[in-house]
């Protein structure tokens, strides 16, 4: 009997399965510092204890996407170790903030399965939830992955595709306890733009670009303890679909979010993930650019000093975003588009 784990294949998933992920992760200031080094992020409350206190928080929390990646990484050995691709996200909601010294735990529930027409792969939908060791929920989200079958002749399960919302309603957004930027210094934060500065339909070219290096993207993915082979194993991937390792799509997301500081520098908190698509793969050596579109705006009842923007964040490779590329005339993504990510961000009014 083997003592090692090769990960689940498609036929190993059953509707309703509850999966408890190893290993609880205690996060530290070092994690936060390394994330800043790997992404170049400059958002004020994550860089400065002083600005965090000005926003009503006791200290700097971890960046929301770092929390997301830590949770995502917990789930990889059980959900997507044998995945062909991570296909998308939906209905993601952030709760309590994660601070250095907190320990996070995560679990997933299988909410959908459908074998693909080629008989060699299938799509699995899971809802992943994470909480602190004191029981407070920090994040929940749905994602779906294309997973290889171990045995192509294994019978296909009854197809169940979950009905997921196309976005999180603004009324369901949670404001972290204490977040009240009455004394927030926008000059020190590096951006003067508040909620009222943005209009629905506005597009923002974030101007700057950042090239992803081989060592850097692998270090970032190891930080999250994401063990997917497609990001690390050159020996195996040279015979794979692309002939080389691909960059974890979440790292592209974090780079794009860091670039979005130039234009959206006062987003204090990502409150929800509405949807996300990794449209094309990224590789070491690609230069990432980004642009954003304001899709909607919402007031937050009980929080007169805060507002929420629904934002589409698009990342491209080796292509500046002054023309706001997204899809071709046939409705398919432009081949230079890597990421199409829809989220709610909270900022001062």
How much is the pLDDT for 5? 83
Whether residue 25 lies inside any domain: the answer is yes
Whether residue 300 lies inside any domain: the answer is yes
Cβ neighbourhood burial of 193 (10 Å; 0-12, 13-18, 19+): middle
How much is the pLDDT for 84? 84
Whether residue 4 lies inside any domain: the answer is no
From first CA to last CA, the distance across the chain in angstroms is 61
Residue 303 CA to residue 238 CA, distance in Å, equals 53
How much is the pLDDT for 1? 65
- Whether the predicted model's global pTM rises above the 0.75 cut: yes
Residue 321 CA to residue 318 CA, distance in Å, equals 10
Segments forming the whole domain that contains residue 60: 10-348
Write out the two tokens for 303: 């929080």
Whether residue 283 lies inside any domain: the answer is yes
Q: What is the CATH number of the domain that holds 46?
A: 3.10.129.10
Q: For the chain, which ranges sit under pLDDT 50?
A: none
Phi, psi of 310 (to 5 degrees): -90, 120
How much is the pLDDT for 83? 85
Between β-strands 18-26 and 337-348, what pairing exists: parallel, antiparallel or unpaired?
unpaired
pLDDT (tens digit per residue) in 209-251: 999 999 999 999 999 999 988 899 999 999 988 999 999 999 9
Residue 93 CA to residue 267 CA, distance in Å, equals 16
Whether residue 2 lies inside any domain: the answer is no
Cβ contacts of residue 255 below 8 Å, gap of 6+?
39, 40, 210, 212, 288, 290, 315
Domain count, the chain: 1
How much is the pLDDT for 114? 97
Per-position b or e across 303-328, b if 16+ CB within 10 A of its CB? bebbbbbbbbbbbbbebebeeebbee
How much is the pLDDT for 86? 84
Whether residue 3 lies inside any domain: the answer is no
Phi, psi of 156 (to 5 degrees): -75, 140
- pLDDT > 90: what percent of the chain? 93
Q: CA dist 202 to 186, 298, 322, 336, Å?
A: 21, 15, 13, 22
Q: Where are the beta strands (DSSP E) in the chain?
A: 18-26, 83-94, 103-115, 121-132, 137-148, 203-205, 210-211, 269-278, 287-299, 306-317, 337-348
């Amino acid at each position: 009997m083997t003592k090692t784990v090769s990960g689940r294949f498609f036929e190993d998933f059953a509707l309703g399965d509850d999966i408890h992920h190893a290993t609880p992760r205690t996060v530290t200031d070092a994690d936060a510092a390394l994330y800043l080094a790997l992404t170049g992020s400059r958002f004020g409350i994550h860089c400065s204890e002083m600005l965090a206190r000005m926003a009503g928080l006791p200290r700097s929390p971890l960046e929301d996407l770092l929390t997301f990646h830590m949770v995502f990484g917990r789930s990889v050995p059980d959900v997507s170790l044998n995945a062909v691709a991570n296909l998308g996200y939906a209905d993601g909601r952030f709760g309590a903030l994660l601070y250095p010294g907190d320990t996070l735990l995560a679990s997933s529930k299988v909410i959908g399965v459908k074998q693909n027409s080629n008989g060699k792969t299938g799509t699995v939908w899971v809802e992943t939830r994470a909480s602190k060791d004191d029981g407070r929920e920090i994040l929940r989200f749905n994602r779906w992955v294309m997973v290889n079958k171990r045995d192509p002749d294994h019978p296909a399960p009854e197809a169940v595709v979950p009905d997921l919302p196309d976005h999180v309603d603004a009324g369901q957004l949670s404001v972290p306890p204490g977040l009240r930027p009455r004394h927030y210094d926008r000059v020190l934060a590096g951006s003067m733009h508040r909620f009222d500065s943005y209009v629905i339909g506005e597009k923002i070219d974030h101007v700057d670009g950042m090239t992803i290096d081989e060592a850097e993207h692998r270090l970032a993915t190891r930080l999250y303890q994401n063990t997917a082979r497609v990001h690390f194993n050159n020996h195996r991937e040279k015979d794979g679909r692309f002939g080389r390792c691909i960059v974890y799509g979440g790292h592209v997301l974090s780079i794009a979010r860091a670039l979005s500081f130039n234009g959206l520098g006062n987003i204090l908190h990502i409150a929800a993930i509405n949807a996300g698509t990794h449209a094309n793969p990224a590789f070491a050596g690609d230069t990432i650019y980004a642009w954003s579109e304001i899709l909607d705006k919402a007031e937050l009842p009980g929080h007169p000093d805060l507002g929420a923007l629904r934002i589409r964040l698009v990342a491209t490779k080796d292509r500046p975003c002054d023309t706001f590329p997204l899809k071709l005339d046939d409705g398919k993504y432009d081949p230079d588009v890597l990421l199409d990510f829809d989220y709610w961000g909270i900022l001062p009014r």
